[in-house]
Amino acid sequence: MPTNRLVKRLQGDDRVELFRAARASDFSPYFRVAESVTAPTVVIEGGEKIMLGSNNYLGLADHPAIRAGAQAALDKFGAAVTGSRLLNGTLDLHIELEKEIADWHGTDDALVFTTGYQTNLGTIAALVGPSDRIVVDSAAHASIRDGAALSGARIVKFTHNDLVDLERALSRPIEGDGAILVIVDGLYSMEGDLAPMDAIAALCTKYDAALMVDEAHSLGIYGPNRTGAAELFGVANEVDVKMASLSKGPSSTGGFITGSSDLIDTLRVQARAYIFTTSGVPAAVGAALAAVRLIRSSEGADRATRVLDNARVLREGLAAQGVEVGAPSPAPGGETASPIVSVHVGDDLLAVGLWRSLFDKGVFVSTAVHPAVPRTGAILRLCVMADHTPAQLAEVTEKIAETVAENKAWA
């Protein structure tokens, strides 16, 4: 192997060595291999686990209607289109999906990207540049941070969900004809807390700032039409750029932007992550269309209610047994549950130890350690599904409380 500087740099990286050591000892919570469909119970590496680590909030990954949508698209269009949307990769199915999404959100138009990550990367980099300022929540998703960096705009972070700090960032004058873009998540993927969308929208109006909201984890769950947190807070029409993922609640893959025709046409010709990548495979587009239609139906409303009811049961059950969990989010009319329930651990190694103990007891959870969360902010991230049964929730509540208590005894 060559021994140039780049190759040498790959040797001896502390994080890589830690990953290898954890993998070799079978102690790593990452890259575990699933052997069955994503559902309330999943076979992982030969053993059945109750799944609390999936973003399949609405339980659609194995829904017959979603399977049928994927199969019909596969039968009609084959495995792939092998081209970008700009050239030969736009199918009538894409157009149908974009029209459905625009109608659902009540906007002029919508644009579907191949992945959710590319949606944020391409959109942010296309809309702002070096003369502009991005004001972004410190807990925003990595794809938002990467898109902001790619844009070349000046980036100002504000403390997570801190309206005083947000206003401080917005009140700073901007030179020339530069614009300000505020970017927040509707529902944050680690702690499972909602952004105070009404107050954020009011500040954007006050300081003439555009507002972009990432509804990846809130889509299909919140609001009368289940379009996300902005609708829940009554400010959907005050959002200039709304992004959402098709890989969480809708249980497909991809992402989309909704908004004005000026916004969407700008992205069609300026968003490099859209123009220069191959179109999503037909089966994923067909599944996404079927999922959007189901979410808009009475069954979708029922599933949204069930997932929040299940989340409330899990969170309250853990709290009653002394487990430190994230708080419910303030919302219009009171507080609301979140499909993401965070268990506060603090220490990275302790979090991994808890994960392994639960894995051995038949419960699969997600583990978030630094740098995904702040130092000393390690958590277990629990995600409920609409299809989890009361018996399953009772079982995992007991096992998590028991495991936390056991580990506290020797920590």
- 78 closest CA partner among 225, 269, 284, 248: 284
Residues 162-210 have pLDDT tens digits of: 999 999 999 999 988 999 999 999 999 999 999 999 999 999 999 999 9
Answer yes or no: pTM beyond 0.85.
yes
Q: Got the DSSP string for 22-66? A: HHHTT---SSPPB-S-SSSEEEETTEEEEEES---TTS-TT-HHH
Instruction: Find out whether 131 and 276 touch, Cβ atoms under 8 Å.
Output: no
Q: What is the pLDDT of residue 6?
A: 87
Domain ranges of the chain: 13-62+300-410, 64-295
Which of 383, 375, 378, 370 is closest to 345 using CA atoms?
378
Write the CB contacts of 102 (distance below 8 Å, at least 6 apart in sequence). 108, 109, 110, 258
Pick the CATH number of 13-62+300-410 from 3.10.20.90, 3.90.1150.10, 3.40.50.720, 3.30.70.420: 3.90.1150.10
The pLDDT score that the predictor gives to residue 409 is 54
pLDDT of residue 316: 97
| 18-32 exposure pattern, b = at least 16 Cβ within 10 A, e = fewer | eeeebeeeeebbeee
Q: Give the integer Cα–Cα distance in Å for 183 and 349.
A: 32
Half-sphere exposure of 195 (CA within 13 A, CB side): 38
Q: Which CATH class is domain 64-295?
A: alpha beta
> Which position has the token pair 């009361």?
390
- Same topology for domains 13-62+300-410 and 64-295, yes or no? no
Task: Return the pLDDT at 1.
Answer: 57
* Nearest of 215, 225, 198, 193 to residue 327 by alpha carbon: 193
Q: What percent of the chain has pLDDT over 90?
A: 88
The reported pLDDT for the residue numbered 3 is 82
Question: How many angstroms separate the CA atoms of 245 and 344, rounded?
Answer: 26
Give the three-state DSSP class for 168: helix
Task: Order across the sheet with 210-214: list the strands.
Answer: 109-113, 255-259, 241-245, 210-214, 180-185, 133-137, 154-158
Q: What are the average pLDDT values for consecutive 10-residue runs of the chain, which has 411 residues?
A: 81 83 89 96 97 98 98 98 96 98 98 98 98 97 97 98 98 92 97 97 98 98 98 98 98 98 98 97 98 98 98 98 95 96 93 95 94 88 98 98 81 47
Per-residue confidence (pLDDT) for residue 411, from 0 to 100: 47
